[in-house]
């Protein structure tokens, strides 16, 4: 059964159609890659799922329940967490406190005291490999660590579905490989993942399925190899030389 499902999702900004009539679904436990050129509406779609925007038309369902129109914090507590493309840690807090806030208020936070949440945050930071930087201020981290913290914050919420919005942008090759490993590890822990990414190296490595947006419309949806060889996708996004470069 689909854990997340969108039907005819449309988001218009004063006439501009950012996302137009898009259908999508995510199966329990899968990693779906969302790709497309800049301005295709990827982040808008994530914002619609996460409740930052209510869709202008259409509906989003999480585990069969309608979530479109709910507030971001309500959706976060139901079990969907997200990262921000431009990372948004709480700069005045330590790394540990950042993750702890996620643990306190996320899906698993209801029965946790502040102390239990802090312990949970420590576990998560261990998991993502930030344990040694736990007591640093969040504003003292480098880019790669900030992206990791952003992921830790989302995971500390104990979600069933995470939306990763370009968590690898700005990383070097070895950092990307580490991030890919981390995402695989996260999947093994039982979470379903939607990942927006421009880094093809990562997309090819982790995704079970790819979904392509162009000018707010879905132009392809299917297995990785199939989509990456699709005429339309190559024309709209990957570029003619993509095959020469990768093969």
Partner 1 sequence: MEKKTLRNFLICGLILLIVSLFPLVSNNFIIRFGTDILMFAIIASAWNIIGGYTGYASFGNVVFFGIGAYITAVLMEKAGMHFGIAYLAAGGGAALFAVLIGLPVLRLRGHYFAIATLGVAEAMKALVQNLEITEGNSGIYLPMLDLSIQGQYYFFFYMMLGTLVMTLLVTYLILNAKLGYSLIAIREDEDAANSVGINTTLSKTIAFALSGLFTGLAGSIYAYQQAFLKPGPAFTVHTTVKMIVMAVFGGMGKLFGPLIGAFGIEIISETLSNYFLVAHTLFFGTVVILAIVFTPKGLIDLITQRKFGISYFVENIREHRI
Which residues contribute to the site for partner 1 (CB under 8 A)? Answer: 50, 52, 71-73, 76-77, 81-82, 84, 88-93, 97, 100-102, 104-107, 109, 113-114, 117, 153-154, 157
CB of residue 163 to partner 1, shortest distance in Å = 10
DSSP 172: -
CB of residue 175 to partner 1, shortest distance in Å = 23
Nearer to partner 1, 163 or 212 (CB): 163
Residues, the chain: 247
CA-to-CA dists, residue 213 to 20, 58, 108, 142, 220, angstroms: 10, 17, 32, 31, 8
Please state the φ and ψ torsions of residue 129, each to the nearest 5 degrees: 85, 30
Distance, CA of 77 to CA of 96 (rounded, Å): 20
Nearer to partner 1, 24 or 84 (CB): 84
Nearer to partner 1, 114 or 223 (CB): 114
Nearer to partner 1, 156 or 207 (CB): 156
Taking only Cα atoms into account, the Rg of the chain, rounded to an integer number of angstroms, comes to 18
Contact (CB, 8 A) for 149 and 83: no
The tokens for 54 are: 């209510």
CB of residue 223 to partner 1, shortest distance in Å = 31
Distance, CA of 243 to CA of 65 (rounded, Å): 41
CB of residue 152 to partner 1, shortest distance in Å = 11
Beta bridge partners of 34: 196, 211
CB of residue 81 to partner 1, shortest distance in Å = 7
Distance, CA of 64 to CA of 39 (rounded, Å): 30
Nearer to partner 1, 115 or 241 (CB): 115
Nearer to partner 1, 104 or 207 (CB): 104
Q: Which residue's structure tokens are 């707010």?
A: 216
The tokens for 43 are: 């982040």
* H helical segments located in the chain: 42-50, 72-78, 95-105, 114-128, 143-156, 173-188, 200-206, 224-228, 231-233, 242-246
59 three-state secondary structure? strand
CB of residue 78 to partner 1, shortest distance in Å = 9
CB of residue 178 to partner 1, shortest distance in Å = 24
Nearer to partner 1, 102 or 216 (CB): 102
């Amino acid at each position: 059964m689909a854990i997340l499902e969108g039907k005819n999702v449309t988001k218009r900004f004063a006439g501009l159609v950012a996302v137009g009539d898009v259908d999508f679904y995510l199966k329990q436990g899968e990693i779906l890659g969302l790709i497309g050129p800049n301005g295709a509406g990827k982040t808008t779609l994530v914002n619609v799922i996460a409740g930052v925007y209510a869709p202008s038309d259409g509906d989003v369902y999480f585990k069969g329940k309608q979530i479109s129109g709910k507030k971001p914090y309500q959706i976060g507590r139901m079990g969907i967490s997200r990262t921000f493309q431009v990372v948004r840690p709480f700069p005045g807090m330590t790394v540990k406190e950042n993750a702890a806030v996620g643990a306190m208020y996320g899906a698993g936070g209801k029965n946790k005291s502040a102390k239990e949440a802090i312990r949970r945050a420590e576990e998560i930071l261990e998991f993502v490999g930030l344990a040694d930087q736990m007591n640093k201020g969040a504003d003292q981290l480098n880019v790669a660590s900030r992206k990791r913290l952003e992921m830790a914050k989302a995971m500390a919420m104990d979600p069933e579905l995470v939306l990763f919005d370009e968590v690898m942008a700005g990383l070097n090759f070895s950092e990307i490989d580490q991030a890919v490993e981390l995402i695989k590890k996260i999947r093994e822990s039982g979470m379903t993942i939607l990942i927006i990414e421009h880094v093809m190296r990562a997309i090819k490595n982790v995704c079970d399925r790819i979904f392509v947006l162009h000018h707010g419309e879905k132009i392809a949806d299917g297995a990785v190899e199939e989509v990456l060889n699709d005429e339309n996708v190559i024309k709209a996004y990957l570029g003619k030389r993509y095959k020469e470069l990768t093969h």
